[in-house]
Structure 1
Amino acid sequence: MKQVRCPNCGFFCQKYGKTRYDLQRWHCKQCKFTFINSYDKTIQSFQSFLKWLFGKGTQKGMVGQGRSFRRHTTMFWDYWALPPKVEMPSKVIYVDGIYLARKACILIACNDTYVLGWYLCRYENARAWEALLNRIAAPIVVVTDGGTGFHKAVKKAWPKTKLQRCIFHAFQQVKRYTTTRPKTIAGVELYGIAKELFHIKTQEDARSWVQSISAWKIKHRKFLAETTTDDNGTIRPKHERLLKAENSLNILVRNGNLFTYLNDAFDFKCPSTNNRIEGGINAQLRAVLRNHRGMTIERRIKAVFWWCYMHSPNPLSLKEILEVMPTNKSISTIYNTMNERSKLEASISTWGDAIVWSDLHFYDKSFNSSWD
């Protein structure tokens, strides 16, 4: 039988009768402390909550259709799983954003093994990306799908990191303009050039591919120069979608972000696509949300947070998580405190800014000031 230790001094205790509710009483001979060793089921309930959240089971299939489960686990929806600060640099980091609603996006960063960070924002922008990257040690290469504002953020947060644009997303961007069945010869040829991205293995292949884009533009110069007039009388390019598709590739080539994975200076195999985060993380998160569809937007966000945290490098134990992680109440308290402080600072001058002119200048003739 497991021996019970005294919560006061830590020595072993002995049985000391029972209470009127038939609960075992314990007594410590060392400090003369008597207590009841009650069993806390909070950790067990938290474990059941996470198991349900990451699994496919439904509450309707539980005993009592999940009423007992909800009663014991509702409290855990108040917690927020915050990301750790990653100080161990990785060679390659993958980043992407997953939208949970029209104005709710979670930016995620990971390496080949763990989720390194996540950040909640309304939409992808440079400020949100920078907030995510600042908590993660700079890698050698970062692979991205070209999210809005990421290029600006990575220059500021990770200035020495090489950027690799996912070639699959580069191809997808061209396909959106040309479609899979282009109706013009120029569109068919450009779509074929974009598909060749998946077959580039050497620097020589990359140079030949870039030359093929230049040759395509020269070949169809007259065709691409055709214009048309819209209903407002504005002259526009007739084949604007083809020009946008070609320009999307030219920008990547000009910035040097398309063939970073062919750099011979790397002592590791650099990936050319963002498949690690798309299939390994985003697909898993969508499965969690699909298995428990019907949750509010706040609970969907917390579900993604919990999944990311439990797949981070060194997650805390369940007991430590409940002691450390903030709750809705604690965050609301901090917010209200900061809000009141900002109002106070707006109404009262801060230290060093509240000097009154009359404190340094005297106009009483009876007072002699030699320095005024």
Structure 2
Amino acid sequence: MKLVKNGRNTAGNQRWKCPTCGASTVRKRPDRSRAFTLQRFLGWLLGKDSQADADGSASGRSFRRATQWCWELRPHIPLTGEIHDVLQIDGFNLRTGWCILTVRAGGNVIAWQWCARESQAAWSALLARLPAPAVVVCDGGTGMHAALAEHWPDTRIQRCLVHLQRNVRKYVTTRSKTSAGKALWGLALKLTRVQDLDHAAEWLQLLAAWEEQYLHLTRERTYRAQATETPSWVRPTQQWWYTHQRLRSGHQALRRVLRAGHLFTFLDPALASLRVPATTNAIEGATNSQMRLLLLHHRGMPETHQRRAIEWWLYMQSEHPDPARVLAEHQHRPATTPPPPRREPEPGPALYDTGLTPEEGLWIRKGWAGRS
């Protein structure tokens, strides 16, 4: 029998009525309901409103109860095997001790990997899933470069010039008291202003001039037998150390990258059509800072919810995000089946019971005690 429309209920849903018996019902669409709930959940998770604001109540308890199952969804970006010209890679550390490694191409996130720290094994697990690009832009993590040499040996590397500046600043600071330290920090500041090959040649000349004037300072040594005081970082068994250790480390940070050929890769004429960036500002500003802001808006989440929030944010920054596909791939937990009935053994002769037996001396006695 075909049902006919019979108005709407108080919730605004269409009500259907059987013309024969007069019974009315409302058609249930759990798939649409779950999709709508997931949409509400992502709107709150990727925004800055509180759960009370999303629910319209004082506590947001009903919102938490309705969206509790959404935390079980684990989005992932499918691997397409596409070969990208330029990739940017970086790591982001959470306060809970987790670290997430991300890969970005053309403004979109294409892969991520959870780990405890930016080790070679963690980067290898991520890079092994992706085809090698022409150029990769990254910072100076040792584990990262070891994984790049293992999985992408033919890929050109461009070191982030901003990170290199920070490395030099860590050693010589911005307010060095020596002329050598001030000159080295000024040289590092000019690094991000290099725009073409002529600027690069001028910068290399400035570096050569600095080395001609101050390089001997990086080789001076202090011996324990002649020292009046010992720095705190010197080992107890160490007999000598470099006098200007921090100046030496700042200079070596620049020389190491220049010697590896990773300083001005973005100026290579053969790569001009790829428009290789000189920094990882795109992934730092568009990915890492946004994840940090997301955790700030929803501070107080447990560790598992923080990780799920990061995964959803990265997934929505991919090229083709589709929450409906994630919902369709999610396998619902099977209903808990009742345990099989326990089969009791057949009752036999009672070894221990609650009845009274004369053998135990508990038979009801008559007459005065002690009389037969």
Which residue matches 1:71? 65
CA distance in 2, matches of 1:135, 1:26: 57
1:218 counterpart (185, 203, 212): 212
SS at match of 2:279: coil
TM-score (norm 2): 0.76
Give 1:317 deviation, angstroms.
4.2
SS at match of 2:318: coil
Q: Given the alignment of the two structures, is residue 119 of structure 1 paired with residue 113 of structure 2, yes or no?
A: yes
* Bigger mean CA deviation after superposition, 81-90 or 275-284: 81-90
1:46 counterpart (38, 49, 55): 38
Which residue matches 1:333? none
2:276 counterpart (270, 273, 281): 270
Q: Given the alignment of the two structures, is residue 245 of structure 1 paired with residue 250 of structure 2, yes or no?
A: yes
1:170 counterpart (164, 172, 184): 164
Would the aligned equivalents of 2:96 and 2:303 in 1 still touch at CA under 8 Å? Answer: no
Give 1:157 deviation, angstroms.
2.2
Would the aligned equivalents of 1:162 and 1:260 in 2 still touch at CA under 8 Å? Answer: yes
SS at match of 1:220: helix
TM-score (norm 1): 0.76
SS at match of 1:301: helix
The one-character-per-residue Cα deviations of 1:41-72 (angstroms, maximum 9, x if unpaired) are 11111000000001111113332321111111
Give 1:261 deviation, angstroms.
0.3
Give 1:153 deviation, angstroms.
1.2
Structure of larger gyration radius: 2
The one-character-per-residue Cα deviations of 1:321-352 (angstroms, maximum 9, x if unpaired) are 1232478x79xxxxxxxxxxxxxxxxxxxxxx
Would the aligned equivalents of 2:158 and 2:266 in 1 still touch at CA under 8 Å? Answer: yes
CA distance in 1, matches of 2:331, 2:221: 59
Aligned residues: 307
1:289 counterpart (284, 295, 302): 295
Q: How does 1:1-372 map to 2 (within 5 A)?
A: 14-15=2-3, 24=16, 37-40=27-30, 41-61=33-53, 62-64=55-57, 65-101=59-95, 103-228=97-222, 229=224, 230=230, 232=236, 234-266=239-271, 267-318=273-324, 320-325=325-330
Would the aligned equivalents of 1:93 and 1:142 in 2 still touch at CA under 8 Å? Answer: yes
SS at match of 1:241: helix
CA spacing shift, 1:326–1:273, aligned 2, 3 Å: farther
Would the aligned equivalents of 1:181 and 1:188 in 2 still touch at CA under 8 Å? Answer: yes
SS at match of 1:251: helix
Listed as ranges, the gaps of 5+ residues in structure 2 are 20-24, 225-229, 335-372
Listed as ranges, the gaps of 5+ residues in structure 1 are 1-12, 28-34, 331-372
Give 1:313 deviation, angstroms.
1.6
* Bigger mean CA deviation after superposition, 72-81 or 82-91: 82-91
Q: How large is the Cα RMSD of the aligned pairs?
A: 2.6
